[in-house]
Amino acid sequence: MKTALFLLSAATLALSSPLQPESQIVPRQQRTLCELYAYWSGNGYELLNNLWGKDSATSGSQCTYLDGTNNGGIQWHTTWTWQGGENNVKSYPYSGRQFSRGKRISSISRMPTTINWQYDNENIRANVAYDVFTATDPNHVNSSGDYELMIWLARYGNVYPIGSSVGSVSVAGRTWDLWAGYNGAMRVYSFVPPSGTIKSFNADVKEFFNYLERNQGFPSSQQNLIVFQVGTEAFTGGPATFRVTQFTADVV
């Protein structure tokens, strides 16, 4: 299921310094991922062309592209067109931070992250969101968990989180509408901006878990971090390109 298609390496040299020392050369990596679950990993990050719901579409396609890894993060974009099955998610292409398993949420002090992104077409049905799974089993499959934390940065075309709104909350210096519900047996919490989009986001995701522990009974001492990802859930529309000009994340 994990497929890497090709690699191009280039040395990025400052124009004013054609004889730049080798230690200062910044590698630039590129990939094209078009197959279902086509995958790349490197430099502490991973990228997945996650077309998990494509069979609910009557037509469409999607490719995801690694643009580079530098400045401690990853740059990538994905281009898609989907028609049919209006209320079904077709895909969630994402970039994720890699880390060693067995990290209890209670033992994590910080989860700092930054993302800068844009869509070239906002006449779509889609979201932009962080997706974080936790589970009591540190070796739980990475496609689900006991709990799911989503931080929505955009909501296009009247799409909605799982569950229902439980009120307005303040976390990480912003106001959010908190939604709660279940996806099967998995408890899902979604923090959604009341309006507008957040195209430049810099926060500590651990603050969201601290809020859930204090106010929603989240069992941080029993839950292990499974995945720490960000991407876009595509429903219908396009052609549209979602571009991440920089994503960084860490688990401390």
Q: Which residues are catalytic?
A: 148, 233
* Joined tokens for residue 36: 């279902």
Bridge partners of 194, per DSSP, are none
Whole-angstrom distance, CA of residue 195 vs CA of residue 224: 32
Residue 123 exposed, middle or buried by CB count within 10 Å (0-12, 13-18, 19+): exposed
What is d(CA 131, CA 27) in angstroms, rounded to the nearest whole number? 28
Strand-pair partners of 225: 134
Task: Reply yes or no: is the peptide bond before residue 239 cis, omega within 30 of 0.
Answer: yes
Could you tell me the CA-to-CA distances from 242 to 11, 54, 117 in Å, in that order? 26, 17, 7
The CA distance from 179 to 173, in Å, is: 18
* Structural contact between residues 124 and 158, judged by C-beta atoms closer than 8 angstroms: no
Peptide bond into 112 cis (omega under 30): no
Q: Is 202 helix (H, G, I), strand (E, B) or coil?
A: strand
DSSP three-state, residue 55: helix
Say if residues 129 and 233 touch (Cβ distance below 8 Å). Answer: yes
